[in-house]
Structures are given as C-alpha cells and as structure tokens.
Amino acid sequence: MIQQLPHTAPFSLVKSAPNGEQGDHQLERNPGMAFDLQQLDKIRINRSAVERRCASYGARRSIKKQQQAAWLLKAISLIDLTTLSGDDTEDRVRRLCSKAKQPLSVNLQQRLGIDELNLTTAAICVYHEMLTAAHTSLKGTGIHLAAVSTGFPAGLSPLPLRIAEIEYSVEAGADEIDIVISRRHVLEGNWQALYDEVKAFRAACGAAHLKTILATGELGNLANVAKASMVCMMAGADFIKTSTGKEVENATLPVSLVMVRMIREYHAQTGMYIGFKPAGGVSDSKTALLYMTMMQEELGRRWLEPDLFRFGASSLLGDIECQLDHYDTGYYSAAYRHPMA
C-alpha cells in the first residue's frame, strides 16, 4: 500500500492553493526588480558542461519499485493537464476536468491503497474559449485553472490585444495565465523591450499567477535562454516555462537545467521562489522522473511542490497510470485502458 511506504514521507500530496498557499506556508509573490543589463552581460553558458550534468541524472540515481511508485504519485500532483487543439470542444474539456479530479481509476486507487489521498492533478490548461466549461467543472475542487494567452503560440498579435486577452481570461475564472514572449526581442537582444512587455503582462494578470513561455526551441542558443529567463523573473514572472508544445523542439534537459540555474541565481539574489514548468516532450514516466531528479538536486525538495513545479502535459498521465498498474500487477496494460478524456 503506497501510503505506508517510507519513501512517500518526503512527498506531500496536498496540492497548492490559489496564489501560492500550501498548507500554512504562503510564498511571497515575485515583485520583480529593476531592469539590470549589466547582470545579463555577465551570463555565460558552457554547453558541454550543461550536457554532462544532464547525462548524470539518470546514471547516478535510479528510482525503482516502491520508491518509483511514490515518485509517480507525486508527479501526478504536478501535472497541468492540457488540451490545446484546434478541435477542442466543451465536452472534451469537461471530460479532461473529470480526469484531473480523478486521475487514477477507482479500482487502481483501491489496489494501491491510496483512495484516501484525494489525489488530483495541479491544474487544467486550456484556450480562453474553453474557460467557462472548465471553470464550471472545477468549481470547489481547488484545482487551478490556467489559460494560454497573448496570441499563443506565436505571440505576434498587437500588444494591446495581448494585454486585453489576459484580462478577459482572468475575468473568466483563470487563476494562472501562461503567456508567450515575443521571441524577436530575444533574437535582437532587445532585453529592455522584453522586460517592459512581461511587466505589462504581469500587471494585467492581477492576482492570477503569470507563467512566461520562452519557446526555447526558437531562441537560438542556451545563453539566450538564460538571459530571457532572468529578464522574465526581473519583470515579475511567477513561473518560467520552456515551450508552447508547438515548436519543432520543446522541453529538453539541457535547456531546463539552464533555466533552473537562473531560478537558483535569482533566488540567491532576491530570496524569491520562482516556479519552473517544462512543457512539450515530457510524455512518459521515465522522463518525468529525470526532471524531478533535476529539481531535487539543483533547487532542493521545496521545488517539488505544485506551487513551484509543473509538467505541462497531456499524455504523461496515461503513461504514469500504466506504470502504476504494472507496479501493482506485474503486467503492462493497454493504453486504451487509461483514457485522458
């Protein structure tokens, strides 16, 4: 029975409440800081060292059997369950919300002995048009509601429209806003423009938390990723996020390590806790465990809670459910037995 495993003790499966509350501990939101170009000029990235460090995570730490089951249950509580397709319907979103509220089948929960945990995913993430259906379905559950915004995924609509889109989504019930930055500001080295843009987005969010999507696969190099991460945090971002999931290259461990190291640097300077969200490419349990290992080793245990770490994913949950079923029975079940919606 999973709840009796000693390795579950470090993992609290209680999801974070809106605005950063977690139990009796409420994180102070990042107020941002003055733009500092000199700090950006000091950033240097050694790509080969980054890649060596990433290769070490799986080699040095192996999570098996009972420990793996406990970590995978924790991973479920970190998922932003996402649907961002052109053919989304309100019925699909309602079914996805039902999955978020009950991510594992009743039978599997009972067999694992975890039915009293009331396990859910951290959030549902949808387009603005699907917010009303999602908000109604999630009411009273404590599950966060995130909306992608600012001309997602390209971010090329006029700035006033992007700001208005944030305001509409907050009014419709979103308590988290996933914005996309203007990649051209990064590619042109126009860091002041990026800072001003994200600062305007943060103001439009109000009480809703701001996740800034860097679209790292389109930023050219790791140094640009590092500088864009720092600028977004300077401008008041609550989370930095790798990708939209629509790029040719989405979340990777090297890119994520660079972003996480910037979070560590910003925390050392300001004392602020900034969240991290890999999205796109995290579709199986093995990859999720590598990311959790990275967070544990680079930032510490506190960053393995849903108010500071999320997976932006759709198919990940199905694979985790399959792995937990294998843990219980010794056999892998077919994917159709673990539908998302």
CA torsion, ordered 171, 177, 182, 187, to nearest 10 deg: 170
How much is the mean pLDDT over the chain?
A: 90
Q: Is 74 a catalytic residue?
A: no
Give the pLDDT of residue 132: 97
- Catalytic member of 99, 199, 241, 319: 241
Q: Is residue 103 part of a domain?
A: no
Give the pLDDT of residue 330: 84
Residue pair 11/215 in contact (Cβ under 8 Å)? The answer is no
Confidence check: pLDDT of 107 > 50: yes
Residue with tokens 């070490």: 56
Q: How far is residue 211's CA from residue 180's CA, in Å, rounded to a whole number?
A: 9
Pick from 307, 260, 243, 279: which is nearest to 78 by CA? 307
Q: Is residue 50 part of a domain?
A: yes
Q: Which domain holds residue 257?
A: 32-79+146-314
Q: Is residue 270 part of a domain?
A: yes
Q: Is residue 331 part of a domain?
A: no
Q: Is residue 175 part of a domain?
A: yes
More confident residue, 32 or 5: 32
CATH number at residue 219: 3.20.20.70
Q: Is 139 a catalytic residue?
A: no
- Catalytic member of 15, 238, 277, 319: 277
Q: How far is residue 185's CA from residue 192's CA, in Å, rounded to a whole number?
A: 9
Residue 297's pLDDT band, with cuts at 50, 70 and 90, is very high
Number of helices (H), then strands (E), in the chain: 13, 10
Q: pTM of this prediction?
A: 0.91
- Catalytic member of 175, 178, 238, 319: 178
Q: What is the mean pLDDT of residues 173-188?
A: 97
Q: Is residue 106 part of a domain?
A: no
Q: What is the mean pLDDT of residues 151-170?
A: 97
Q: Is 277 a catalytic residue?
A: yes
Give the pLDDT of residue 234: 98
Q: Roughly how many angstroms between the first and final C-alpha of the chain, as a whole number? A: 27
Confidence check: pLDDT of 288 > 90: yes
Which residues, other chains included, contact 285 with Cβ-Cβ below 8 Å and sequence gap of 6+?
Answer: 68, 72, 75, 316, 319, 320, 323
Structural domains of the chain, count = 1
Q: Is residue 223 part of a domain?
A: yes
Q: Is residue 122 part of a domain?
A: no
Task: Determine which of 46-55, 259-268, 274-283, 330-339 has the lowest per-residue pLDDT on average.
Answer: 330-339
